[in-house]
Structure 1
Amino acid sequence: MRATGRGPSVHRRAGGRLAALGLALGLLTAACAGGGTGAGASSGTSPGAASARAAAAEERLAENSIVPLEGAPPTPVLPVTVDSSDGRRVTVEDASRILPLNGGVAEIVFTLGLGDRVVGRDITATFEEARKLPQVTRAHDVSAESVLSLRPTVVLADTDTGPKEAVQQIRDAGVPVVVLDPATKLSDVTARTTRIAAALGVPEAGKALNKRMNDELAAAHAGVPEGSRPKVAFLYLRGSAAVYLIGGKGSGADSLLAAAGAVDAGTEAGLDRPFTPITTEALAQAQPDVILMMTKGLESVGGLDGLLQIPGIAQTPAGLNRRVVDMEDGVLLGFGPRTPLVIDILVDRVHQDG
């Protein structure tokens, strides 16, 4: 299967999945609609069910769409005063015009059922429901003028949002700005959801979304084959910029791989930084069974054949067996409501055939 940039693919075991798609859609639809159940979790314990869940997850990610919580959209109960990650206390009195300055934050807002209140987006909000909204960033920099022209009643940012002068200009105009810590690991997803729901006056919706995600993650993890612990190396590559890095502790991929029942090869090899330049020695130490990458990164080095030309990769078990899994850039480390779909796919793709 060739990487297309639209969704995840694995360069091995390409056949046999379409037959499972009917079962897959039923499994995943039930989990999303009902928030997941004990029955849903147990259904993921067989290899066939794991493959079915992965196939359905691929379909969902290919649609690039958000599945809101069931039922009527929540009604914000305001005002609320919340902690902002820049050390401030922020009071939100009106959530009728919400402007998230981060794609992951926007995804949570839409999934909470408040998408019809969102008035703009930043460049990283690329899912279908947000695509037609006005963009308020140039490259990754926020334009204060563009933000203020949309008359937001609350802005949601994170500590990486900048430039800081633009954020301060928005705040000086009287708009409440709630700053959040970035999500860099799986456990951050529920904490971030709780904070966003609290800031928008819909805490019960936040609890419901967290329950749904936790149930979906449990169902995905139930598909891990007993006794299977493959070593997976996350490689961050940008061939055009000569960036060749291997993930280690704190890369973000390490927490995803743990949830999928795999071992992060970089961390196992003693790499205690999020990213380290790739060397032949580092790869020889890591000895990954599978390589995990972002799709654009794989494309930037010429696909699988180009990847195998990087010194040391062809000599790893992953290189020898051509076992490379790639996933769309914005989804793989997005850490949001669609992250359980990522785990569904990883559970199926990184483990050996039974």
Structure 2
Amino acid sequence: MLVAVLAVLAAGCNAPGGADSGGVGAVTASIGELDPEPIGPPPSPRLPVTVASEDGAEVTVTSADRIVAVDQYGTLGETVFALGLGGNLVGRDTATDFPAAADIPNVTPGGHSLNAEAILALRPTVVLTDSSIGPHAVQEQIRAAGIPVVFFDGERTLDTTADMIRDVGRTLGVPQAGDALAERTQQQIDQALAAVPERQDPPTIAFLYQRGAAISMLGGPGSGADDIIRAVGGVDAGTASGLTAAYTPVTAEALIVAAPDVILMMSGGLQSVGGVDGLVQMPGIKQTPAGENRRVIDMDDSVLLSYGPSTGKVIGALTDALYGEQSR
């Protein structure tokens, strides 16, 4: 195994740098304004409604006056704002950190773990959540306290984005706003996809989830990043190198085998290791084409994997960062 890794390492050091992905150097992809754009003025929810929760329960929502929206990606919180109900959001997750949500209490202070006491203290009239966050016992505890808890699909792909927006709109009693927002989002996604350059040599892109030196994960199938990478015309390095889990702890050997032309990261993760200068000092990074060329693209944590109303803008910004003038 060691001989094989050394052989790959030597080949990587002598290779010309892999597929052309618009040049070398680090780029921050930006969608501009981070706050979600409401589809219209604040709508008036028509409640009660009974919906089928993703966990199999039938849930009746009687009020959307005090909403808690929590998932790993910030999708639900972003969607509530884009529906025009941001003023009703009283609790959020760590990923919902765009400026307009800054003063809303964060009920996942540890990152991705729910705090039942913190949620109950907010007196929510409905909790929107999914299987990406937990522990599940906390959501059940909140439901047992008499608060409607609605689970949504935990999978994040381009194909499920518009449907989730519609589902959130129906759950909150604003189906027309949900349909309009879903239509706008899908149009923006379609326009962004149409602008991705066609290439015979697609770049291999590795999504690296980093939180300081202690947490370093390489994205694979089902990470959410794999779908975004395919959307911008790239090959997901983790999937292509044989990973089978959504996230796998990073090793130098895994990075060398993945051989990415580009490394994609959340901005907060890149900052947590000291920027690109710190990143290229990590084991295995320098021995990849991306590390050799310092080819790193970062994007704000709140939008990169949100798969919500800003998804079309995310694809457009990543396309520009990846290909530069070739995408125009």
For the aligned pair, the TM-score class normalised by the smaller chain equals 0.7 to 0.9
User: Once the 2 structures are TM-superposed, how far is the Cα of residue 324 of structure 1 from its aligned partner?
Assistant: 0.8
Shift of 1:247: 1.8
Q: Which amino acid aligns with 1:331?
A: V
Of structures 1 and 2, the one scoring higher in RCO (CA 8 A, sep 6+) is 2
Shift of 1:91: 0.9
Aligned to 1:6: none
2:37 to 41, 55, 67: 67
Partner of residue 14, structure 2: none
- Cα displacement (A) at 1:13: 7.7
SS in 1 for 2:308: coil
Q: Deviations over 1:20-48 (max 9, x none)?
A: xxxxxxxxxxxxxxxxxxxxxxxxxxxxx
Distance 1:82 1:101 in 2: 18
Q: 2:213 aligns with which of 240, 255, 259?
A: 240
How far off its partner does 1:165 sit? 4.4
> Alpha-carbon deviation of 1:177?
1.4
Match of 2:297 in 1: 325
Confirm or deny that 1:86 pairs with 2:86. Answer: no
TM-score (norm 1): 0.75
Between the aligned partners of 2:64 and 2:122, the Cα distance in structure 1 is 14
Q: What is the aligned counterpart of 2:203 among 230, 236, 240?
A: 230
Q: Deviations over 1:143-201 (max 9, x none)?
A: 44443443322221222444444433432332211122324333332232122111112
Deviation at 1:256, TM superposition (A): 0.3
Code of the residue aligned with 2:205 in structure 1: it is V
Task: Give the 3-state SS of the residue equivalent to 2:302 in structure 1.
Answer: helix
Q: TM-score, normalised by structure 2?
A: 0.81
1:111-130 equivalences in 2 (<5 Å): 111-130=82-101
* Count, aligned residues: 300
Counting aligned pairs with the same residue, the percent is 49
Matched residues in 2 for 1:261 and 1:309: separation?
28
In structure 2, give the amino acid aligned to 1:311.
Answer: P
Alpha-carbon deviation of 1:210? 1.3
Q: Deviations over 1:251-299 (max 9, x none)?
A: 2111001111111122222222222333444334322221111223223
Secondary structure, counterpart of 2:303 in structure 1: helix
Secondary structure at 1:298 match in 2: helix
Kept in 1, the 8 Å contact 2:218–2:247? The answer is yes
The within-5 A match list for 1:149-298 is 149-227=121-199, 229-241=202-214, 243-298=215-270
Bigger share in helix:
1
Residue of structure 1 in register with 2:310 after alignment = 338
Residue 40 of structure 1 corresponds to: none
SS of equivalent to 2:306: coil
CA deviation map 1:110-134 (0-9, x unaligned): 1011222223334433222222234
RMSD of aligned C-alpha atoms? 2.6
Within 2, Cα distance between the matches of 1:265 and 1:166? 35
Q: Is the 8 A contact 2:218 2:250 kept in 1?
A: yes
Question: Which whole-Å CA distance do the structure 2 matches of 1:277 and 1:147 have between them?
Answer: 31
Gaps of 5+ in 2: 1-22
Question: Relative to 1, partners in 2 of residues 1:212 and 1:88: Cα closer, same or farther, differing over 3 Å?
Answer: same
Please give the secondary structure, in 2, of the residue aligned with 1:346.
helix
